[in-house]
Structure formats: C-alpha cells, structure tokens
Structure 1
C-alpha cells in the first residue's frame, strides 16, 4: 500500500510529508497541544480521533475527492487513483459501499505502524467473503475510525482494483475503471475538487493508544492474520 505515500510525496517536502513525526508540535506547550488535539471540527468537516492537521493549519481539512495516478517504478505503468477526504459520520458507510464494487470474494490487508515509527507493516488475508468481511469491519468501527496507526485495504487481485481506508482516514480507490466508485462518492455528497489538499500534504500528527492496539490485535485475529513474527503508534 505504498502508492499513496509516493503520490503525496510528489507534492510535498521530506520535512512536511506523510511521515510519522511530531515536527513543530514539539515546540508547543502542553496546553497548546491539548487545545489543538481537542479540536474535532473545521467548518462542516468532522475529524476522527486518528489524526490532526498542523498547528498553523497549512491544510484545513475539507470533504471532496480528486483524481491522481500511481506510476510503477519498474514498469512505468500508470494506474488511475481516486483520493478522498470524508467527514467522520460518512466514513464507514461510504467505505462499505465502495468495497461492494469489488465483488463477492476479496483479499484484505491490514496496515499497521504500531510500534514501527519508521515504516508500516502489511498483514494479508486472501479469499474472504464480502458479507463476512463487512460484518467484521463494522464490529471494529471504533478502531478503524480513531486509530492513527491502522489502515485497511480491500483488494480484487483479478480486477487489479483496491479500496483503501488508510491510517490518515483518507479513502483511496486504485485501479480501473473508476466510474462506479466516482458515482458512489457523489451519491454520498463527496464531490470532485481538483485543488483539494489532504491533511497528509502538510505537517500532521497521528494518535493511537494501547487500548486501540489491543483492538487491532483482535481484528487481526478475527481476520486470520495471527502471525508469530508480528511485533507490532502509541
């Protein structure tokens, strides 16, 4: 699931890019930090607890989507991408609507940066029935919305299509055709905006906890991803 970070890195600098560092947040007083972390809404856009923008609001969160593309480093093949920012109350329902387009049997990936400050780890499960997957994901809605160290991707490898809810709570649709996904966004009042900037394109901070990490491990086990070598950001 590295294509998102590559796309965003093209539009930002290494210092302010999609990385797990507090940056200038270190210069804030405890009171200033707590006040900033306690802001849950910007206009009509409601944040989850997973992430907060830069203190000086280099990017103000807003709802919408834009088109981009992923370029494979080795083959230079280009794949179209939709990237979206969605207000909290719509995220789960919209994500479930989007993955419905992938078919009745899919693969699923959990992305984690718990206890991995410099990189993410992907855990893979093949061939899960869509109704079963949706039920499991709904049971773990709190984790998927509020953990800044957990992301999930649902994949149809035959069609080469993927829908991702990443650790920043952005939605990314990867592959083609994209028309049915675009319609689903618009039907949920998420509209195209070519000038849309995402929270990851400036300094930002992730949030997690040991309790959410425990919930992640429960979700991992329910998806049959219980691996002995996993050592799982808190």
Structure 2
C-alpha cells in the first residue's frame, strides 16, 4: 500500500483522461499497485516520477522528435527538440546537453509541490555552469524521481534552452538545435517523428514530503529567493 500512496496520496498533477473518464476508475487496489510498480517497458525504464495510464494510451520508449513552440502573443515559432531517455542515462544526456549553453547560464526551477493544476517558476540568473552542475549532482534523486520538480537551463544571449521537466523529458528550444541532436544520436537515440510522449495522454505524478524538503534545499543552494 505504501507504493500506491506515493502516487495517489502525494500526486499533485495528473494528465487529463480522455473523454472525462480515467483509466484508473474501477480498478482494484491490487491492479493499481501492480501497474504503478511497473517501471520497465521493453528496453526503456521510467524514473519514479511518473507512470502512464492504466490502459497504456502511450507506451514509454526512447527516442526524439522535432516540433515547434508557438508564442501566441508574438506569433514567433521556435524550433523544439523533444526527447525521452531511459532512466539509467537520462541525467548523463542532460548534463552533456547543458555543455552546449556556454559557461554562464540562467536557471529556472519548476515546482508543483503543494499545488494542484499549476506550477511555479523560480529564477536564478547568471550562474557558472560548472558550479550549477556540481550542485545538481548532489540532488540526483530529486531530479530523477520527483514528479513535482522540473528544471530549465538557458543562455538568453544565444538564445538556447534545455529543459528537464517534471515528466523527465528533455526539451530543447532554439533556432539551431543541430548540436543537441548530435548528442542524442551519440547516445543511440533514434528520431521518431510520429512518437507520442507520456505528457500526451493520461498519466500520474509521484512526489513526497521528503522530496519537497529536498527541493527547498536545492532552492537555497542555488540562491533562489521567492520574495
């Protein structure tokens, strides 16, 4: 029952079920717990941060696809590269992607702890990338397994941004994403332009009070003051 509580008692943001009905409706506790304990799908392993719908509307897999972000206010379309990477190497890939941003970067911490249906962005400007990476290495468990913590690192002077979101997807924004794609290719990820990500169907997030405390510690280490 402890594992079940981790997902449902401490979940703050759920993906929207299709047609207003959830695939988790009318399941027994045993069925729920069995599903939530499954982390491996073929050669792909999820972190503990998120689980797909019970009926597997999207089956987790490794790969990447190209997309665009459309800013409705300005009308600007920004190229996007989205990637899903298995647990055992996702942080290695993320840290290698960060090296493309230069030596000084801005950081955005994303949190949905104690929130439902939304999140808060916390900013820290101008931190040396080696210092940032050293701090993040101390919080690997939080970054990997907390479904209420996300992180974006950007260089507004280029401009490029690399996000490691609450679903543990890697999302890159910028006009020139070739170097990022080269890194994904080096890690053996395949371009799958028709692939669907876990965010595009019903899913559940996992968090805990301990992760919420660790998030506060990370915020302090980064020198972020909400006020």
User: When the two structures are superposed, what TM-score results if normalisation uses the length of structure 2?
Assistant: 0.90
Q: State how far apart, in whole Å, the 1-side matches of 2:57 and 2:38 are.
A: 15
How does 1:157-176 map onto structure 2 within 5 Å? 157-176=156-175
Indicate the residue corresponding to 1:117 in structure 2.
116
Q: Mapping of 1:143-222 within 5 angstroms?
A: 143-222=142-221
Name stretches of at least 5 consecutive residues in structure 1 with no aligned partner: 1-12, 229-234
Q: 1:74 to 1:198 in 2, by over 3 A?
A: same
Q: Cα offset for 1:26?
A: 4.2
* Cross-structure match for 1:60: 59
Question: Taking structure 1 as reference, are residues 222 and 197 closer, same or farther at Cα in structure 2, changes over 3 Å only?
Answer: same
8 Å CA contact 2:40–2:46 kept in 1: the answer is: yes
Paired position in structure 2 for 1:41: 40
Superposed CA deviations along residues 167-217 of structure 1, whole A, max 9, x for unmatched, are 000000001210000000000111211111101111100000001111111
Unaligned runs of 5+ in 2: 1-14
What is aligned with 1:50? 49
Contact 2:146/2:211, CA 8 A, preserved across alignment:
yes
- How far has the Cα of 1:159 moved from its partner? 1.2
Contact 1:16 1:201 in 2 (8 A): no
Secondary structure of the equivalent of 1:25?
Answer: coil
| Aligned twin of 1:4 | none
Counterpart in 2 of 1:81? 80
2:23 alignment partner, SS class: helix
How far does residue 22 in structure 1 lie from its aligned partner after superposition?
9.8
Which residue number corresponds to residue 29 of structure 1?
28
TM norm structure 1: 0.87
Query: Which segment drifts farther, 181-190 or 25-34?
Result: 25-34
How far does residue 158 in structure 1 lie from its aligned partner after superposition?
1.0
CA, structure 1 residues 78+111, in 2 after alignment: closer, same or farther (shift >3 Å)? same
Once the 2 structures are TM-superposed, how far is the Cα of residue 48 of structure 1 from its aligned partner?
0.2
Aligned residues of 1:22 and 1:204 also touching (Cα < 8 A): no
The 8 Å contact of residues 48 and 146 in structure 1, kept in 2 or not, is answered as yes
Q: How has the CA–CA distance of structure 1 residues 16 and 215 changed in structure 2, closer, same or farther, with 3 Å as cutoff? A: farther
Matched-pair contact (CA < 8 Å) for 1:143–1:216: yes
Equivalences, count = 213
- Aligned-partner Cα distance in 2 for 1:155–1:199: 24
